[in-house]
Chain A
């Protein structure tokens, strides 16, 4: 019994040092050398200041809302430092009311530029909460609907906006794995630099 206890204590101390300190610190060192950009959160800088991460959606409401592509709804206000699931159930009255508000918002924003757009025509990703609250991608269909408004608001040729959508699409890996989507953060940034 005493022998077991001694071995257990020694094992716990030894493996905590090996697996809890040496391993993560070595991994941090190697990652910082091999992939400094990615290991630090794929930060985007503009004029020397950090303005976000290319992996994260951010809030594009406010004064720029009309000229920017809008990411998926977020239950967390797009914060990357306190995430939680929205936990909306499939059969909840509150969930249906949420969809109705989102649909009204989307139609009000995009409807004038896309005559004939109805609830049934809205891409499902545009009115549902993402899991993380910071999903950087929207579906291609969603981006194409918003493109009409963005092109008009920014005075850009629609073809150019469509080209930028294409450039900032995160495709399936090897054309097979996962789902394609358009990176809203990168796309809006590219539109900004277009205007300069």
Chain B
């Protein structure tokens, strides 16, 4: 086990060392300063502005920004839905796949536009290469970029030093920010990571499947596709929708010990760097590190718990007389340490890529991903989404802390008043509400039953996890839960489970866009707030005490909301040797 702890520590140290590099770079990019890519990209960027008919000088108010974002996302959704429903017309369809059913396509389109990447579909058995490249991978980029633009706007709102009634309420131009994010951050990183993954053995070809006979004469087929280009943005954009059904457990998607680290690092690096970017943009690196620390504490705790739990095996293993850790649903090349680390990372970060079967985790090991999801993406979270949700919790912590010590709640010189707290509360409570209501509906009606695979508390956990994951735009799954029945490959004779597909789809759309609009509204009220100078009465937000307060608020809200539900599933399984 010691070796595993050393690996985890080294991995975290490497990441922390890289945070100022990427975080500083992004701060420059989003404040419009010169970076090393500027000479190459400045002209193409201007050309794109002209092509898209946007004026970079005409800054949008929060309403204008939100309008552009929502319209663009709605169109993206429509385009993806159409792509998924017209597969027979596609070029790059070596497998001859048919289109998905309407309900499955609704779920998948919602899944990718919301940066969730929940997989009811099986990539290699249902999707053409064209759907994967021009449909899913494009949304991997765009939804990630949308998340980043939202947090940049919130940061601008907090950092602005304009005030007064007549002050300019511009927060930036949506299409300009989107283009910047794609050109300067996501695309260059994807090219580097993609090529690194191919060098380790990840597929990148349009050649289609290769049929062969194995050494003992069995007929088999090697499924191939443009995997690495999609894999890179899948992890960098904390998307998580795998080219293959088993995602990053598939050797052709994650071939070896090193590629696994490349993927974990790529998942973590943008969400981990954004708090640093934030610190730079509001003019106080300490504020950035304070938020980073609160996130890091919760991540380290969850890695530790899941690793210890998985090292002890499951009741089914013990009762069968087996010894050793829980290797069920895990790959030998990652072992228990790297599977545990991956699991903790992917669930705090709202990535949803998996390199092991989450459903086969031990009871307590399975509690960790669920608890992570119940924090609503605050712990690093999805690219952009993580930091903006955490900032909501920071505002809440400022408010609660301010009231506790009898000071006017203010954050970085801006008073937090009734309107902000109403919006924050609404945003914070909205996603958990969807999760609990939808889970209750799925469990108390007969419509949820066809999706459940395992009996007993495991079946309860599958359902709860499905809505936790979809409403929080995570996308990892207790994969026994299904929304699609597929008798043969290629979508022939397939049928969707409409209830699960539709409920999941709506959970993802609501859980994504309602908080985004609320966050933009908060940015809109903050941008014009008068700045009060720091004084003796100011509650400091860059101290260890405040970090503790912040962690406490996150855990309190997450735990109090979901504790009863968690008791019924993973906690029961973790505390008993009883078999169901």
Interface residues, chain A, with chain B CB atoms under 8 Å away: 1, 3-12, 14-16, 19-21, 23-25, 27-28, 30-32, 34-35, 38-43, 46, 49-53, 55-56, 58-64, 68, 72, 78-93, 95-96, 99-100, 103, 118-120, 122-125, 127-139, 170, 172-173, 176-179, 181, 185, 188-189, 192
The 8 Å CB contact of A15, one of B53, B71, B141, B577, is: B141
> Among residues 70 to 91 in chain B, which have CB atoms less than 8 Å away from a CB atom of chain A?
71-72, 75-76, 79
Residues of chain A lying within 8 A (CB to CB) of residue B323: 120, 124
A120 to B320 Cα, complex, angstroms: 9
Residues of chain A lying within 8 A (CB to CB) of residue B412: none
CB closest chain-B residue, reference A60: B216
Considering residues B257, B326, B362, B580, which has the most beta carbons from chain A within 10 angstroms of its beta carbon?
B257
Report if A131-B249 is in contact (Cβ < 8 Å); known contacts: A119-B322, A120-B322: yes
A85 to B209 Cα, complex, angstroms: 21
Query: Do B256 and A170 touch (CB < 8 A)?
Result: yes
Give the contact stretch, choosing among B283-291, B334-342, B549-557: B334-342
Query: Do B216 and A96 touch (CB < 8 A)?
Result: no
Query: Do A85 and B137 touch (CB < 8 A)?
Result: no
Cβ-based interface call for B203 (8 A): yes
> Among residues 228 to 271 in chain B, which have CB atoms less than 8 Å away from a CB atom of chain A?
228-230, 244-246, 249-252, 255-258, 260-261
A35 to B329 Cα, complex, angstroms: 30
The 8 Å CB contact of A10, one of B53, B359, B457, is: B53
Tally B residues with Cβ within 8 Å of A. 125
Cβ-based interface call for B403 (8 A): no
Residues of chain A lying within 8 A (CB to CB) of residue B102: none
The 8 Å CB contact of A81, one of B215, B223, B260, is: B223
A35 to B204 Cα, complex, angstroms: 9
CB closest chain-B residue, reference A20: B134
Residues of chain A lying within 8 A (CB to CB) of residue B423: none
CB closest chain-A residue, reference B211: A50
Query: Do B363 and A11 touch (CB < 8 A)?
Result: no
Query: Do B313 and A58 touch (CB < 8 A)?
Result: no
24 contacts between A and B (CB under 8 A): A1-B67, A5-B75, A8-B72, A11-B178, A12-B79, A19-B141, A27-B226, A30-B195, A32-B205, A40-B205, A55-B255, A62-B216, A62-B217, A81-B209, A82-B245, A83-B244, A86-B357, A100-B320, A125-B327, A130-B331, A131-B249, A134-B250, A179-B336, A189-B215
Residues of chain A lying within 8 A (CB to CB) of residue B216: 58-64, 68
A134 to B147 Cα, complex, angstroms: 35
CB distance from B187 to the nearest CB of A (A): 7
Query: Do B51 and A96 touch (CB < 8 A)?
Result: no
A120 to B322 Cα, complex, angstroms: 5
Q: Mark B52-65, 1 if CB is under 8 A from A, else 0.
A: 11100000000000
Query: Do B187 and A23 touch (CB < 8 A)?
Result: yes
A64 to B125 Cα, complex, angstroms: 30
Report if A91-B576 is in contact (Cβ < 8 Å); known contacts: A31-B228, A58-B214, A58-B218: yes
Residues of chain A lying within 8 A (CB to CB) of residue B203: 39-41
A45 to B249 Cα, complex, angstroms: 24
Residues of chain B lying within 8 A (CB to CB) of residue A78: 220
Query: Do A173 and B257 touch (CB < 8 A)?
Result: yes
CB closest chain-B residue, reference A120: B323
Query: Do A124 and B214 touch (CB < 8 A)?
Result: no
Query: Do B198 and A92 touch (CB < 8 A)?
Result: no
Cβ-based interface call for B325 (8 A): yes
* Closest A-B pairs by Cβ, 6 of them: A178-B257, A179-B335, A20-B134, A131-B249, A90-B314, A124-B324
Report if A79-B195 is in contact (Cβ < 8 Å); known contacts: A28-B204, A120-B322, A181-B333: no
CB closest chain-B residue, reference A13: B79
Cβ-based interface call for B560 (8 A): no
CB closest chain-A residue, reference B198: A31
Residues of chain A lying within 8 A (CB to CB) of residue B473: none
A3 to B323 Cα, complex, angstroms: 65
Query: Do A177 and B257 touch (CB < 8 A)?
Result: yes
Q: A19-B137, A95-B328 are in contact. List 12 more A-B contacts (CB 8 A).
A: A7-B52, A12-B79, A14-B51, A40-B207, A55-B255, A58-B216, A87-B357, A90-B362, A91-B316, A134-B250, A177-B258, A179-B334
CB distance from A95 to the nearest CB of B (A): 4
Cβ-based interface call for B419 (8 A): no
Considering residues B313, B331, B453, which has the most beta carbons from chain A within 10 angstroms of its beta carbon?
B331
Residues of chain A lying within 8 A (CB to CB) of residue B72: 4, 8, 11-12
A56 to B252 Cα, complex, angstroms: 8
Query: Do B210 and A41 touch (CB < 8 A)?
Result: yes
A39 to B354 Cα, complex, angstroms: 22
> Among residues 449 to 494 in chain B, which have CB atoms less than 8 Å away from a CB atom of chain A?
453-458, 478-480, 489
Residues of chain B lying within 8 A (CB to CB) of residue A27: 191, 194-195, 198, 204, 226, 228-229
Query: Do B316 and A92 touch (CB < 8 A)?
Result: yes
Query: Do B67 and A128 touch (CB < 8 A)?
Result: no
Q: Mark B171-184, 1 if CB is under 8 A from A, else 0.
A: 00001001000100
Q: Mark B493-530, 1 if CB is under 8 A from A, else 0.
A: 00000000000000000000000000000000000000
The 8 Å CB contact of A20, one of B138, B245, B332, B579, is: B138
A188 to B576 Cα, complex, angstroms: 42
Query: Do A81 and B489 touch (CB < 8 A)?
Result: yes
Query: Do A51 and B215 touch (CB < 8 A)?
Result: yes
Residues of chain A lying within 8 A (CB to CB) of residue B256: 170, 173, 178
CB closest chain-B residue, reference A122: B322
Query: Do A55 and B215 touch (CB < 8 A)?
Result: no
A117 to B271 Cα, complex, angstroms: 48
Residues of chain A lying within 8 A (CB to CB) of residue B457: 91
Report if A90-B363 is in contact (Cβ < 8 Å); known contacts: A8-B71, A41-B203: yes
Considering residues B68, B198, B222, B363, which has the most beta carbons from chain A within 10 angstroms of its beta carbon?
B222
CB distance from B190 to the nearest CB of A (A): 7
A34 to B217 Cα, complex, angstroms: 32
A119 to B330 Cα, complex, angstroms: 20
Query: Do A5 and B71 touch (CB < 8 A)?
Result: yes
CB distance from B193 to the nearest CB of A (A): 11
